[in-house]
Amino acid sequence: MKIFLDGAFVEAADAKVSVFDHGLLYGDGVFEGIRLYQKNVFRLDAHLERLEYSAKAIALKLPWTRAEIAEWTCEACRQNGLTDGYIRLVVTRGAGNLGLSPKRCPKPTIFIIADKISLYPPELYATGLELITVPTRRMNAAALPPAVKSLNYLNNIMAKIEAENLGYQEAILLNDQGFVAECTGDNIFALFKGELLTPKPSSGALRGITRDAVIDLAAEFKLPVRELDLTRYDLWIADELFLTGTAAEVIPVVKLDGREIGTGKPGPLTARFIEAFHRRVIVEGTRI
């Protein structure tokens, strides 16, 4: 496997960053997870725009143009002979000293991994996920805005540990006010009485690329979408639930906190979103 690292493609075994890199020492950096479908990088420009915004938010200056990063991303797929795959694009603060100050890091590090991913077993897309709400709360947006896709994922990891210890593959996090934020790695949508409901970003939800694609599809379906503060009760009584994410795509939820959602089986609207999303990803984006 070839990894893009600071301007060159190297073998995976040789793709190394310094132990003094602040991305490793402090989680100081940003990243994107991107998908390749039939040699089409889905919404690459949107991903790179979000990367730029995340970097700007943490005062990390990117010394490369968007066009350069886009070409390196596509070339990473070509170098590894991929038709379908998952791309992890990471920018760290770079190597510095053992202090927190980013001013001691003269230049950022960039690396791009293009490989395969399977977040959930294929059968769950037909049968649906069971979720649980975990005690770990989403970090307050005043401490770290959820729109920043940073390397600091310990909040999510702690929630994932709690879910897995209880036998669940995914969990819902509430914010410090008790409203639904998102799952450990995915956004969440609820269908209720003909409306599609989803937590607003200020509740602690990442502005997901797949989330945006589903909102676009809802407009095509002429289905009203509302971003609002949602409680667990709102999800328990929903007609349908599903999750969205770059790795997860669109996956149905059939049970939450021991309560069946709707009929207890994946709903027809969820199936419609899955089908429409799979059609869109092969035509919308950047050909490698």
Closest by Cα among 30, 46, 121, 40 to 85: 40
Distance between CA 158 and CA 139 in Å, rounded?
12
Helix axes of 66-79 and 44-57: crossing angle, nearest 10 degrees: 120
Give the active site residue among 149, 160, 193, 255: 149
Distance between CA 25 and CA 191 in Å, rounded?
42
Closest by Cα among 37, 215, 242 to 124: 242
Helix, strand and coil content of the chain, in percent to the nearest 5, comes to 30, 30, 40
**What type of residue sits at position 201?**
P
255 tagged catalytic: no
- Please say whether the beta carbons of 38 and 83 come within 8 A: yes
Indicate the SS3 state at residue 231. coil
Segment (H or E) for 29: strand 29-37
The residues annotated as belonging to the active site are 149
